[in-house]
Amino acid sequence: MKKNYLFKLHVALAICLMSQVSCMKEPSNGGLKSEVEVSGSVNYFQNSMDFDFDGGSKTMSFKSNLKWNMDISNTQNGVQWLTIEPRQGNSGSNKVTFTANENTTYEDRNVVVRFLAGDTVRNIRVNQKRLEAITLTTDKFEVPVTGQKLDIEVNHSMDFDYTIPENYKGWIHKATSATRGLLEKSIVTFTIDPSEEYEKREGKIYFTAGKEQEVVTIYQAGEGRIVLTQNEYNLTADEQEFTVDISSNFDFSVTMPDVEWLKENTSQTRGMSSHTLKFKVTKNDDYKARSAKIKISDKNSSKYEEIVIKQESTGAIITLDKSEYTVNCEKQDLDIEVKSNFDYTIDFQGANWIKQRKNTTRGITSRLLKLTIDENKNNEARTAKIKLYDKNGTASEEITITQGAKSGIEVPTKEFTVDELGGTITIKVNANAEYKLTSNNDWITIAANTRALTPHEHQVTIAALGDAEDRDGTITVSNEELNYSATITIKQRNTFYFENKSIDILVGKEKAFTVKNTTKQSVEWSSNNTAIATVGANGFVKGIKKGTATIMAKTADGKHTATCKANVCEITDMISIKSGGTPTKEGDLVKSGSQIKWAIKNNSPVKVTLKSMQLQGNASGEIGNEVYINEDLAAGSSVYKNTTIESSGGFHLPITCHFVFVYENNEYPIDAKYE
C-alpha cells in the first residue's frame, strides 16, 4: 500500500516537472542546436543514480556544445538532502558531483534533477534507500521467581528475527510469533519459567534485522527453598530425643530458642541434600505444658521455616518453707522461697503497697517469689495476706506480711501558691515527735501550733502583694533531735496585671490593652481622662488627643485591679531618626562630597510616606537642595537613607536634616541632627 503511494507520487512529480519545462529559461545558444554526450561514467540520463541510506557522492562526466545548467525539483517535506556541484557550466567536457546526506528516516526517498542545454532537456532520477534499523522499547526486564510472560515491543524498518542462546532455552521460551513488515511495531511474547535456583539468574534474547542487532536482558530473582517433613512435634513429659528431616537448596543455619530444656544433640553438615537433625528435651516437671520454636533459616536472606516443639506436663505442686513475715516501715525487697512446678497466680487481695518482681526459675525446684514493699508513710502498722494458687486446680498457699508504722515527722504538701491578695493557708504535718515551724519572711505569719502523734493543721497568713513583684518564701519544719528538716515553699503570684506599665497610641487610632487574668472572672474597664483616651468594654483604647491617661481594669468582684498608662502620641512622636556614617571632617567642618547616613524607623501602627529630605549646615547660607524621596514606610518598618554634602565649601557642625513626612494627606516636618 505504501509502496504504491510512493510510486504514484513520483510519477505525478515527474509529470509536473515535465510540464514546467517550457516555462523555465533556457541558456542562450544563438540558434545553435545542442549536442550532449556522456563520457567516462554511468549514463545517468538513462540509468537512475542510487545511494545507500548512509549517503555519499557520485560523479557524472559529459560533453556539451552549449552552456548548461541543472535544477533540483522540490523534495518531500521540503528537506534538501541532495547537493550538486557545479550546477551550471560552459560548453566542453564537464564533471558534476552529486552528494547525498545520510537518510535517517525509515522511508526510501528520491528526487528528479533536470538538465538543460539549449533545446536538450533530460531528467536524472536520484534514489536513496531508507535507514535500516531495529529498536526495542525496553531492553531490560526484571522477572519474579515465579516466572511470567514478557511482551517485547520491537520497532523495525525491515524484517527481523530473534535468537535464544542454547544456555537460556531451558527457561526462556517463545510464546507467540512476531508481526513482520516495514515500519512496524511488533509484539513478541516469551514465557519465563519459575526459577528453582537460589541465586539470581540472567538470560538474553538477540533480535536481528539486517546488520542491526538489539539485545534483551532478562533478570530473574532466585529464592531459597526449604522443606520440612514435619513442622510440629508433640512430645510426652519424659526426657527424650527426636529427629527432624530437612531438604533445602541452601546452606541453612539452626537457631535454637532461649530455653534450657531443648538442645540440639549433634551438629550436622549443611548443603543441597536431605539432613537429619537430632534434638534432646529434658523431663518436664512443670505444671503446664511447654513449647518452643526452632528456626531453620537461610544465612543470606530472610527465608526461614519454624519447627514447633510441644511437651506435655505433670500435675500441680506448691509448698512454702515460711508463710509469715514481719518487716519495718522502710521501702524494701522481700524474697520468699516457694517450691512449685507451675506458674502460680498471685492475689494480693487489695494490698497495693506490695508489688511483684520478675521470677525466672522453672520446674519442681525452689524459686524465689520476689516482692517489693513500699514505704509505710502512715502512723499505723498494716498487714497483707497474699494467696498463691493454681487457677486451674485446687493447689494454693497463703503468705502473711505485717509492716510496722512510720515514726518521725512528715509534711505531705511542701508547696503552696497564693494570689496577690494574700490570705490564710493550712499546712498539715504528720508527726509522732516534737517539731517547730519557722519562716524568715516578714510577709508570712505562722499561728501557734500543737504537738501530738496525729496529723496537725497550722494556719499561716500571707500578706497582700501590693506593688511588689511575684515572690517566693519558705517555712521550715524541723526537729534537731531527729536531725529532721523539711522546707515548705510559699509562692505568691500576681493573678491580675498588665505586662506593660505604659502603651503608646496614635491619635485617632485604637489599640487593644490586654490584662493577664487567671482569676477566671470578667473584666471591667475605665479611663481616668476620657478627653485624652477612652476605653471600651472589650479593652480597646482609643487615642483622642495628645496626652496621658490611666486605664484601669478590675475583676467583676472588685477585688483585683490593674492600671496601665496610655500615652497618646502624634505621628511625629512615633518616628525615630538616628544619624551616622563616617564623613570627612576638619574640625567642625564636614567636607564636600561626604555622606551622612540616616536610620529612619516608623514606630507607628500605620503607613507614612517620607516625602523629602534637605540638609542645612550650622553656618549662614549652608543649605542644600531639597531631595524628594516619596517612599512609603510600612508600620514598624525601617529604612536607611544617605545624604551627600554637595556644597564645595562643605557644611559646619551640627548639621540638620529637615524631613517631611506625609500622613493622611497632611505634611509633618521632623528635624534630625548630625553632630
Query: Domain 319-403, what fold?
Result: Immunoglobulin-like (2.60.40)
Residue 78 phi, psi (nearest 5): 75, 15
Domains 2-128 and 134-220 share a fold: yes
What integer pLDDT is reported at residue 437 of this predicted model?
A: 92
Contact 347, 385 (CB under 8 A): no
Residues listed for the chain: 675
Q: Determine the Cα–Cα distance for residues 176 and 187; give it in Å rounded to an integer.
A: 9
Read off the C-alpha cell for 296.
Answer: 531453620
Q: Determine the Cα–Cα distance for residues 94 and 87; give it in Å rounded to an integer.
A: 11
CB neighbour list of residue 43: distance below 8 Å, 6 or more residues apart = none
Read off the C-alpha cell for 233.
Answer: 512435634
- Residue pLDDT, tens place only, 522-533: 999 999 999 999
- Residue pLDDT, tens place only, 2-21: 344 444 444 444 444 443 33
Read off the C-alpha cell for 609.
Answer: 510616606
Q: How far is CA 152 from the centre of its chain?
A: 38
Query: Domain 496-569, what fold?
Result: Immunoglobulin-like (2.60.40)
Nearest CA-CA partner of 608 in 641, 633, 628: 633
Nearest CA-CA partner of 365 in 262, 257, 283, 289: 283
Q: Cα-Cα-Cα-Cα dihedral of 521, 522, 526, 532, to 10°?
A: 110
Residue written as cell 500571707?
462
Beta strands in 321-414 (DSSP E): 324-327, 332-340, 345-347, 354-356, 365-373, 382-389, 396-403, 409-410
Read off the C-alpha cell for 405.
Answer: 508504722
Q: Determine the Cα–Cα distance for residues 175 and 620; give it in Å rounded to an integer.
A: 107
Strand partners, 96: 60
By CB atoms closer than 10 A (0-12, 13-18, 19+), residue 573 is: middle
What integer pLDDT is reported at residue 492 of this predicted model?
A: 92
What integer pLDDT is reported at residue 129 of this predicted model?
A: 84
What integer pLDDT is reported at residue 11 of this predicted model?
A: 40
**Domain residue spans of the chain:** 2-128, 134-220, 226-311, 319-403, 409-492, 496-569, 572-674
Q: Determine the Cα–Cα distance for residues 624 and 617; give it in Å rounded to an integer.
A: 8
Contact 620, 595 (CB under 8 A): no
By CB atoms closer than 10 A (0-12, 13-18, 19+), residue 453 is: exposed
Strand partners, 401: 325, 384
Ramachandran class of 422: left when φ > 0, alpha when ψ lies in -120 to 50, beta otherwise: left
Strand partners, 9: none
Strand order in the sheet with 201-209: 140-143, 212-220, 201-209, 161-163
Element (H, E) at 13: helix 2-19
Give the angle 540-544-545 at the CA atoms, nearest 5°: 140
| 51: number of Cβ within 10 Å | 23
CATH number of the 409-492 domain? 2.60.40.10
What integer pLDDT is reported at residue 270 of this predicted model?
A: 44
Query: Domain 226-311, what fold?
Result: Immunoglobulin-like (2.60.40)
Q: Determine the Cα–Cα distance for residues 261 and 311; give it in Å rounded to an integer.
A: 10
CATH number of the 134-220 domain? 2.60.40.10
Q: Transcribe 397-450 into DSSP letters.
A: EEEEEEEPPP-SEE-S--EEEE-TT-EEEEEEEEESS--EEE---TTEEEPP--
Query: Domain 2-128, what fold?
Result: Immunoglobulin-like (2.60.40)
Nearest CA-CA partner of 521 in 558, 470, 493: 558
Query: Domain 572-674, what fold?
Result: Immunoglobulin-like (2.60.40)
What integer pLDDT is reported at residue 636 of this predicted model?
A: 93
Spell out, as residue ranges, where the chain has pLDDT lower than 50.
1-27, 181-182, 269-273, 362-363, 450, 452-453
What integer pLDDT is reported at residue 450 of this predicted model?
A: 46
**Could you give the maximum distance between any two Cα atoms of the chain, in Å?**
154
DSSP character at residue 507: B
Nearest CA-CA partner of 338 in 394, 386, 282: 386
What integer pLDDT is reported at residue 405 of this predicted model?
A: 77
- Helix/strand/coil for 667: strand
Residue 666 phi, psi (nearest 5): -115, 145
Contact 535, 513 (CB under 8 A): yes
